[in-house]
Amino acid sequence: MSGDLLNTTVPSTDSSISYTPTSVWGIDIGPGAIGGAAYFDNAFAAAFINYAASQPITGVEWWGYQRSDHGLASICFDCPATSTGGIRVDYLNTSTNGTESPRLLYSTYNLTYAIHNLTIANLFDTRTPPPTTSGSFGQMSIDRFVLFAPSTPPSSSGPSSSSPASTGSDSAAPTAGAGTSNSNNGSSSSHRNAGAIAGGVVGGIAALLIIFALLWFFFFRKRRQTGSPQDMNGGEHPFEAKDGSFVQPNPVTPFILGSAPQAPAHLMQPMPMTHAVQSIPMAAQVAPMAGE
């Protein structure tokens, strides 16, 4: 056992332990029992032991006597008082002669630090070791419970849990704090991985947006620089046919103004003036401006 655990012994005669049905249980003298006596299922019947720990615990041991004819039980934590679906405990020992001291029938040391309820049920054993010829209930018994708890209580506790039964021998207790440290390390690593993934996704999206913006800018700028006025064919190049072939533009002939044709000489003679033209002074020709 680890040195940081404290243990408390609860004898079978403690009032916190209940036995049902009461008619089948009795206190008998047992070799090596605490106080010289222990509780036995004297009717060899379906019977139950129920115990509610008076303090938070992380481990428990069940000490009792083995049987040479039949011996099968069920043990579970925080179960109904008549539960039979717990961990199977075999207390059959064909070599026992009934003079041995109580044996360690079951132990666990990795319960969650909490107050636990313990239920032990006597089960029908179908095995038939000689000289028996048929199955039967064994004579279940209890000498004591031994409770274990850390000397320094942990800061928090969770749901209860138990390990498989260890019959007749002690089990190593887990080192306190190891699980918490591993959990914290795993949580920190998970957060770092999530941050790296998120950063990569954001960076990739930003790069795609920048590339798209550059392509859009150069494409439309080039179109504006190389564009030409639309023609009557729906905006196509005036020198490019709709089928893609090149059309030679019509040459442009410049229009040259020539000299005016000369009239015959006889028509160019000056005509005699038949009327006298009266000279009008320049000042009289200019009409006065409005408002003068």
pLDDT at 21 over 90: yes
User: Has domain 5-160 been given CATH number 3.30.450.40?
Assistant: no
Low-confidence winner among 30-39, 49-58, 157-166 (lowest mean pLDDT): 157-166
Omega of the bond prior to 249 within 30 degrees of 0, cis?
Answer: no
pLDDT at 242 over 80: no
| Cα dihedral 161, 159, 2, 93 in deg (nearest 10) | -20
Mean pLDDT value of segment 238-247? 52
Q: Where are the beta strands (DSSP E) in 123-236?
A: 124-125, 136-137, 141-142, 144-150
pLDDT at 132 over 70: yes
Mean pLDDT value of segment 226-250? 51
pLDDT at 86 over 70: yes
CA–chain centroid gap for 24, Å, is 51
Domain ranges for the chain, please list them. Answer: 5-160
CA distance 225 to 137: 101
N residues, the chain: 292
Structure tokens at 283: 């000042």
CA distance 92 to 77: 22
How is 84-102 classified by DSSP, letter by letter?
--SEEEE-B-TT--S-SPP
% of the chain beyond a pLDDT of 70: 61
What pLDDT is stored for residue 197 in this prediction?
A: 87
% of the chain beyond a pLDDT of 90: 45
Contact 56, 113 (CB under 8 A): yes
Phi-psi region of 244 (alpha: psi -120 to 50; beta: other; left: phi over 0): left
CA distance 108 to 89: 12
CA distance 96 to 67: 7
CA distance 54 to 17: 11
CA distance 96 to 63: 16
For the entire predicted model, the pTM comes to 0.54
Contact 67, 41 (CB under 8 A): no
Low-confidence winner among 4-18, 90-104, 122-136, 228-242 (lowest mean pLDDT): 228-242
Best CA proximity match to 145, nearest among 55, 23, 84: 55
